[in-house]
Amino acid sequence: MIEYDALIVGAGILGLSTAYHIKRTNPNAEVLIIDKLNSSGQGNTAKSAAAFRCIFSSSTNYTLANSSVEFYRHIQEDIGIELGLQWLGYLWLLDGANYRETVQVFKKLEKTLNLEYREYGEKDLADKLQLQTDLTKDEEAQIMGLKNILGGIFIPKAGVMNDVDCLVKFYQNEFMKLNGKIEYGVKAEKLLVEPNKPLEMPGEPFFWQYARVAGVKTDRGQVRARKTILVSGAWMPTLLDSVGIESYIKPKKRQFFTLPASNSGLKQLLKSKGFNSLGCMPFTILPNIRIYIRPFPKEQSYWVGYADEFPRAFNLEENPQPEKNFYEFGIYQVLTKYFPQFRDVRTSSASAGLYEVNTLDGHPVIFEENDLIVVGGASGSGITKADSIGRISAALYNQEEYAHLYGQTKFKVSDLGIRKRSTEREKLIL
């Protein structure tokens, strides 16, 4: 039976990027990706908001995102492969509770990392977006604890992808061009654990033996590998629990809802001027309760979503469903207070997926234990960071101390590991 050099479990965006960068740096290595679905990027990658941003409060996350976004720009603008990037920018709306703190975060990033951003005042925003900034006289809004919007911060280096599949196909194609292999419809059921030095005794490995992950048992037989690389997102913790490895990743349901621009107010909102060169509303985040609004100017629609916290369960649902009440009694109630244009608009579709939340610090985890490399915990910003995560995972595979991210930024691989982890707590999670 063939022993692959690298077996990647999961053909989502992170698995593809990891596989590509491993193969790119090891052209002669036998690299196989397996995925339980029938093509790439069909799991939670397909169920994301397909947005990207260079901006995070921690310099680690910033580096991961900024370098990835620059790489995507390079692919589209220099190489000429269409990724469908639309530089709408991100607009964070701020209320009294978070205004000062958030502005400080951005000022610091401007100073240390040369981040470009613009501040918008309350009146300006009200005017540009027909935004209801003052909720003082709205009794319901007061009961709901909603605060007035005092201003906003806009980041130009951010936006959305028309179709995340372009990026998925880019990594897949590049990987295939290098003779990488992908097998679909193969489900990893169990990690194969074997002693490093087998004694050919039944019951091995015994606990006094050094043992390693030698591949995976799938529903279509064993696949053996020198290094097994688990990049299966929300499904990872189950496999890791079965061998007692902690990744600090938990699955959590995330949902978003499609709203057609079915009235003149919403049609106009899509064409909001004064933010980007596309003459479009930016990807916008409400204050405090961070509901996001992702515009689709071509499709004349919006996605709205919210990553709710307590008491939302950590739960690995096989087929998570969007909840009608989550929109109607949740998002709708808050959204229409600030954006009255959305009143009486009905959702035309809805989607739910599982995010893989890193509960340590909101950063990805990339580490190796017993020949098993674990890559995940992107906490909802996998697309934004996919290229950097792939490069760092490849550097770990190559036993290098530093990864070279796009743009020649050096990144210490162990910073995202478990034992020598070095990160700051992220404050700008959506």
Residues in touch with its own copies (CB under 8 A): 143-146, 191, 193, 199, 201, 203, 205-211, 241-246, 248, 250, 252, 289, 306, 308-315, 325-326, 329-330, 333-334, 359, 369-370
CB-based burial, 201-227: b 16+ in 10 Å, e otherwise:
eeeebeeeeebbbbbbebeeeebebbb
Task: Give the whole-angstrom CA distance, residue 366 versus residue 88.
Answer: 31
**Dihedral (CA of 425, 157, 299, 133) sign:** positive
Q: 24: burial class by Cβ within 10 Å (0-12, 13-18, 19+)?
A: middle
The residue among 13 and 286 lying less far from its own copies, judged by its C-beta, is 286
| Least distance CB 337 / its own copies (angstroms) | 10
The residue among 157 and 254 lying less far from its own copies, judged by its C-beta, is 254
Strands 31-35 and 181-184: parallel
| Least distance CB 267 / its own copies (angstroms) | 27
- The Cα-based distances of 273 to 51, 156, 277 in angstroms read 20, 14, 8
Strands 283-285 and 90-95: parallel
Tokens of residue 169, six digits: 């196909």
| Least distance CB 249 / its own copies (angstroms) | 10
| Least distance CB 218 / its own copies (angstroms) | 18
| Least distance CB 395 / its own copies (angstroms) | 23
Tokens of residue 291, six digits: 């509901």
Residue that the structure tokens 């204050």 belong to: 287
| Least distance CB 109 / its own copies (angstroms) | 23
Tokens of residue 310, six digits: 């307590």
Rg over alpha carbons for the chain, rounded to the nearest Å, is 22
The residue among 248 and 402 lying less far from its own copies, judged by its C-beta, is 248
The residue among 257 and 326 lying less far from its own copies, judged by its C-beta, is 326
The residue among 369 and 387 lying less far from its own copies, judged by its C-beta, is 369
| Least distance CB 90 / its own copies (angstroms) | 22
**Among 278, 232, 224, residue whose Cα is nearest residue 251:** 232
In the chain, the N- to C-terminal Cα span, in Å, equals 45
The residue among 257 and 275 lying less far from its own copies, judged by its C-beta, is 257
The residue among 114 and 210 lying less far from its own copies, judged by its C-beta, is 210
The residue among 312 and 404 lying less far from its own copies, judged by its C-beta, is 312
The residue among 24 and 226 lying less far from its own copies, judged by its C-beta, is 226
| Least distance CB 205 / its own copies (angstroms) | 7
Cα–Cα–Cα angle for 215, 218, 223, nearest 5°? Answer: 35
Amino acid at 98: N
| Least distance CB 238 / its own copies (angstroms) | 10
DSSP of 169-181: HHHHHHHHHTT-E
